[in-house]
Amino acid sequence: MRRALRLARLGTGRTGPNPMVGAVVVRDGAVVGSGFHIYSRRWHAERVALDAAGPAARDADLYVTLEPCCHHGRTPPCTDAILAAGIRRVFCGMVDPNPLVAGGGIECLRRAGIDVIVAGDPEPFRSLNRGFISRVTRGRPWVTLKAAATLDGRVAPLSGRSRWISGERSRRHAHWLRFRHDAILTGIGTVLADDPLLTCRHKRPREQPPLRLVIDPTLRLSPESRLASTAAEAPVWVYCGPAAPPAAREALAARGVTVIPVTVANDGGLDLAAALRQLADAGVSSVLVEGGSRTLAGFIRAELADEFCFYFAPMILGERSLPLAGDLGALELDGCPRLDIRRVRPLPPDWLFEGFFSFPPGGAPAALPTR
């Protein structure tokens, strides 16, 4: 099963909107076939592994990181291929939370007389597909907040220009984060200050470039910006308020930018939850938020932040600078968001903190529900 997990990870950035899945066929203690899913290659991991095994799959065991599907989509059900191959036992990492499957694949195989064993600890398999699970169970993508800050928690001088607080190794790691997310989101303040491209410059190619998203309530994004100018090369979606100027919409649309109006939330900002629902409906499973203080605060305030990657650089900016998170309201210590730090590692000269958000009782927990 460890081999199946390693194979599944080879699909990073190449399976959306499907989950990452790896599969291994074992007969008499020897691997006779293996595979992983890539969306453009159509076939699911089970079918790739079974095709590789050929006749040797009969009476063999199949190890797969996710429950085999039992419904028709772009491909026939994987359960049909497993039955036709004559597999004896199936070991799967976790039940597929997709309502189209949700235990149906396991039931189908068991009815046909195949032993199906589900892993006792689903966490390694859940962590592989947090985005997919979030989209099919919560109706929104998994949201990761990324920021680079000084040791005193400041992200930019008052001018708003943040290039470069982090070092070269941190910036390379940030492109890995972009590589493994379906979309990259920032606020219009960051765009006006830095004119970023928000592209993924990683050594491994993605099947499709990440969506580039901008929160821009009044449509201040210039049609001449680097984002708008490259919309034909990698898609750019801009979320605006209902009162955004029609002329600005038309100018951006003429450059190939998709403009999406959303409602205004109770705090006066755009309804980020509505934007995330729209992204989920479009098949987007994960979003990397790279905005400034106001954008990060908006996701935290709405309890829509799941994961964080914060780079801390060995410098100090002082109070006349912008904080990592903007206005979160008047919080007491027992009501503030908590950071469950899972890993701290050096990226000299910086330090990277990674983990998950948790919110006080009464709020919507960021953690995925367990089955």
CA distance 19 to 327: 35
Band the pLDDT of 269: cuts 50, 70, 90: confident
371, pLDDT greater than 60: no
d(CA 44, CA 265): 40
Residue ranges, comma separated, of all CATH 3.40.430.10 domains in the chain are 134-358
- pLDDT tens-digit map of 289-313: 998 999 999 999 999 999 999 999 9
Cβ within 8 Å of residue 190, ≥6 positions away: 160, 162, 196, 290, 291, 292, 295
Q: What is the pLDDT of residues 71-90, one digit of tens each?
A: 877 788 899 999 999 999 99
Higher pLDDT, 267 or 328: 328
* CATH fold for domain 134-358: Dihydrofolate Reductase, subunit A (3.40.430)
Quick one: 2-128 is in which CATH superfamily?
Cytidine Deaminase, domain 2 (3.40.140.10)
Name the maximum alpha-carbon separation found in the chain.
70
Q: What is the pLDDT of residue 268?
A: 76
Query: Which residue in 326, 278, 332 sits closest to 302, CA to CA?
Result: 326
Mean pLDDT, residues 89-106? 92
Catalytic-role residue among 46, 67, 290, 354: 46
Convert 206-241 to b/e letters by CB count within 10 Å (16 or more is b): beebbbbbbbbbebbbbbebebbbbbeebbbbbbbb
Rounded to an integer, the average pLDDT of 25-50 is: 91
Q: What is the pLDDT of residues 114-137, one digit of tens each?
A: 999 999 898 999 999 999 999 999
Residue 200: enclosing H or E segment and its boundaries? none
Does the pLDDT value for residue 370 go beyond 50?
no
Given a cut of 60, is residue 161 above it in pLDDT? yes
Q: Known catalytic residue: 303?
A: no
Within 13 A of 185's CA, how many CA atoms are on the CB side?
A: 26
Highest mean pLDDT among 104-108, 139-143, 163-167, 322-326: 139-143
The average pLDDT across 38-54 equals 89
CATH 3.40.140.10 region(s) of the chain?
Answer: 2-128
CA 275/CA 280 separation, integer angstroms: 9
